[in-house]
A and B are shown apart, each in its own frame.
Chain A
Amino acid sequence: METGIHELTAGYALDALEPDERRAYEAHLSGCETCQEELASLSDVTEALAVAASGPVPRPELRERLLGAAHAEPQVVVPFESRSRRSVPVLSAVAAVAAVIAVGLGVWATQLSGDLDEARSALDSQRELAVVLADPEARTVALEQGQGRLVVDPDGRAVLALRGLGPAPAGKTYEVWVMEAGVPTRAGLFAGRHDADLVRVEEAVDDGDVVAVTIEAAGGVDAPTTQPIVASEPV
């Protein structure tokens, strides 16, 4: 098993792995110094292969388009206090994940600047969210209704990033739906916060689906009974 995964280094460097192998290798890589070193030693070669690719020069429009797209996703960075920099390695790993969350979404900094312990437990539960948010291949989908955005990775794992929703009314909850061709599937509940919510969509999201949020009775319901207060554009 171990030797098998080591053998994937060259394939990984060339992007010649299948998606599941790639993920397995990345999981292995974070804890394997041998593979990290080997991969680093191959990076000059793959860069040389990139330089050797013959191709036409890009149109000037590409530069404008790309910078315009970046501008449309403004960033706000978490200002980490000095005490968090001095913290134990586990916590700095969490802090790095937090930075990724904040950078990826551009907003959700405020909840991290409070008490560290609180932030830590909140972040533990958000690690899975961060995997989606940090994926450079994840797409950002705008919301047709509500403030925020939807981020969907190539496997259909999705995170809703919502701003200013506020806590759900007493006796009520927010419920997430994945609408496939207009048919809603339950995709999780959350309580809502004043500043920002990061919500894992608990169902896979495919091309053309819409992710929506309604206010429902506490405990959730099997089919929406109210109009959505949040709705994404079709993915």
Chain B
Amino acid sequence: MEVLAPTVLAFAHSEPAWSMRRQHAHLSDEALVALVARGDEPALAELYDRVGRVAYGLAFRVLRDERLAEDAVQEGFLGVWRTAAAFRAERAKASTWILTLVHRRAVDLVRREERRRAEPLPDELVARAGEAAEATDEAAWLRFERERVQAALAQLPDVQREALELAYYGGFSQSELSERLGVPLGTIKSRMFAGLARLRELLDESEQEGSWRPEFTS
């Protein structure tokens, strides 16, 4: 035992980053944001490890370019770093807030670059994303979620799905979509509103199915 003790101490001193990350691993996203607001860099790293992959997937979907997607993610996370003190946990989940910052940055970039690639991703890329998703448990959860949301999207009326996808993944504004689709602006607005509301219902339903809760009939 006496022989072991110095070794343990030496390990603890040589791996401070490891021990900090372990401390952060059990904290909620919201607690991490609070730490980030105090200038805690390991907390930012932990948030990136949790949300970065989805954020990058989203930015890539909008921008279709690795370099630009990286820029959008980096700038989004710098937004987190700079404005964490303004985050209000009662208003939104931290992950949603982070994804919003990254998405907004991606949309700004895609509009500036005039990259208008709203068509579906090539199969090859989807396959690559799928392969990578096999690797870990966390990735398996992501794949499950992705399939669940895609299934819900598929059940939306075509015009609603089109409005949501062109806006959220294509970066088109409502006015641009009105022009591009030759539909009045008010119609675009109602399609987006109705589409989001319907998607929320469908996701709630599939979440209940997915949790295998026994159903009771009264």
Contact = CB atoms under 8 A, between A and B. Distances in A.
Interface string A61-84: 011011101110111110000000
B86 A66 contact: no
Contacts of B81: 70, 73, 75
Q: Interface SS of chain A: helix, strand, loop or mixed?
A: helix
Given A55-B69, A56-B60, A75-B81, A63 B189 contact: no
A137 B70 contact: no
Q: How large is the interface on B (under 10, 10 to 19, 20 to 34, 35 or more residues)?
A: 35 or more
A62 B70 contact: yes
Contact of A62 (B38, B56, B80, B167): B56
Nearest 5 pairs between A and B by C-beta?
Answer: A136-B79, A75-B39, A55-B57, A55-B60, A52-B149
B93 interface: yes
Interface stretch (B18-26, B124-132, B210-218): B124-132
Contacts of A43: 92-93, 96
Nearest to A47: B96
A48 B96 CA distance: 9
A44 B96 CA distance: 7
22 contacts: A8-B189, A10-B196, A11-B173, A15-B100, A44-B200, A48-B203, A50-B54, A52-B150, A53-B61, A55-B61, A56-B57, A56-B125, A58-B70, A62-B73, A69-B78, A71-B41, A74-B39, A96-B86, A104-B82, A106-B39, A136-B75, A137-B105
Contact of B56 (A15, A55, A104): A55
A42 B60 CA distance: 22
Contact of B74 (A42, A44, A62): A62
Contact of A42 (B78, B91, B152, B196): B196
A150 interface: no
B149 A51 contact: yes
Nearest to A77: B38
